[in-house]
Amino acid sequence: MRSMTGCGTGRVQQDGWEVTVELKTVNHRFLDVSMRLPRNLSFLEQPIRSRIGKGLKRGHVDVYVTVRNQENASAQVTVDPALARLYAEAARQIAEISGAANDVTVSALMRLEGVTVLTEPEMDEETVTCLCMEACGLALDRVTAMREKEGEQLKQDLALHLGAVEALREEVLGRAPMVVTDYREKLETRLKALRADGVDPQRLAQETALMADRCAIDEELARLESHLGQMWQYLEAEGEIGKKMDFLIQEMNRETNTIGSKASDLFIAQRVVSMKSEIEKMREQIQNAE
């Protein structure tokens, strides 16, 4: 079992290039990869998405990519002096015409379109892509290791709550046959108190049978046992199991609610409340299972 929470970084250097890929993952219903690459690195987006899709099945993934050319790391900035003078002269004329102060500074001129041009080192796309895939693989390995470690803790916690639900189900199973017997005894006592001439055995049997039919929870208990068994199997399974476990939790909750509504018994009602509490704790944890 894996959690969907993890982080990892991979860094690779070759031929003067250094590529760093950092991944951070949290829970999500599906695999959702989010990255914001500068325009000159846009060619990396699809390869990165494909590589992550092979390693992860669920979760929101934030991707951070840094590429540096160590041999020629510094970009060049060129200036268009003629254009800068034209802008400065235009500002001077506007100031004279309007009477306003000429507040044009060097930094303001640098921000004007065309005055400065940034020239970045030429990108070796093939080399950078290969390095990025390798760095992404290293980052994924670290993310997976962390998710597996978190998943082991998640598994232990789920097993604790699953065992508690099993124990509560056994208590309900042992109590269920007594519910009809208790109802019959209470009904007979009430009828005797109301009627001095005794109780009609046939009428009592009919009422008891109706009650037994209304409060029968054998099927619900059997289905709940089946769901619990499948949950134990998923705890030991590999791959994408979070969605399956989430579905089972919904079914377990449905069966528990039905048991609580059908069994008119205080003992069972108390156990149902406890079961629902344990199931809800599992549901919260399963939201982070891959």
Q: Give the separation between CA 47 and CA 65, rounded to whole angstroms.
A: 12
Are 40 and 21 in the same domain?
yes
Q: pLDDT at position 73, please?
A: 52
Claim to verify: residue 131 and residue 160 sit in the same structural domain: no
Residues 141 and 58 in one domain: yes
End-to-end Cα, the chain, rounded Å: 7
User: Is there a contact between 6 and 146 (Cβ–Cβ < 8 Å)?
Assistant: yes
Residues 137 and 51 in one domain: yes
Q: For the chain, which residues score pLDDT lower than 70? A: 71-75, 118, 120-121, 179-215
Measured at the CA of 158, the angle between CA 277 and CA 33, to 5 degrees, comes to 105
What pLDDT, on the 0 to 100 scale, is given for residue 204? 54
Same domain, 115 and 129: no
For residue 153, tell me if it sits in a domain. Answer: yes
Q: What is the pLDDT of residue 218?
A: 81
Furthest C-alpha separation in the chain? 120
Which of these, 249, 234, 257, lies nearest to 287 by C-alpha position? 249
Residue 81 shares a structural domain with residue 54: no
17 & 86 share domain: no
Kindly report the pTM of this predicted structure. Answer: 0.68
- 194 — phi, psi (to 5°)? -90, -30
The string of DSSP codes covering 226-259 is HHHHHHHHHHT--SS-HHHHHHHHHHHHHHHHHH
Domain residues for 100?
Answer: 76-119
Give CA angle at 67 (66, 73), nearest 5°: 125
How far is Cα 275 from Cα 281, in angstroms, rounded to an integer? 10
Do residues 65 and 164 share a domain? no
Is 208 a domain residue?
A: yes
Three-state secondary structure call for residue 283: helix
Provide the 8-state DSSP code for 30: S
Residue 129 falls inside a structural domain: yes
∠ at Cα 60 (230, 139), nearest 5°?
100
Query: What CATH number has the domain bearing residue 261?
Result: 1.20.140
Cα Rg of the chain, angstroms: 35
CB atoms within 10 A of CB 193: 8
Q: In what order do the strands lie in the sheet with 17-26?
A: 6-14, 17-26, 59-69, 31-35
Q: Confirm whether 1 is domain-assigned.
A: no
For residues 157 and 268, membership in a common domain is answered with yes
222 and 115 inside one domain:
no
CA distance 224 to 259: 10
246 is a domain residue = yes
62 belongs to a structural domain: yes
Q: Could you say which of 147, 164, 183 is where a domain stops?
A: 147
Distance CA 56, CA 62 (A): 13
CA pair distance 161, 74, nearest whole angstrom: 57
Q: What is the pLDDT of residue 196?
A: 46
**In-domain check, residue 262:** yes
Q: Cβ distance 33 to 63 under 8 Å? A: yes
Instruction: Mark whether 41 and 12 lie in a shared domain.
Output: yes
What are the Cα distances from residue 154, in Å, to 30, 167, 235, 284, 290?
Answer: 19, 20, 10, 11, 11
Indicate the number of domains in the chain: 3
Q: Could you tell me the CATH number of the domain that includes residue 138? A: 3.30.230
Q: Is 211 found in the same domain as 130?
A: no
Indicate whether 267 belongs to any domain.
yes
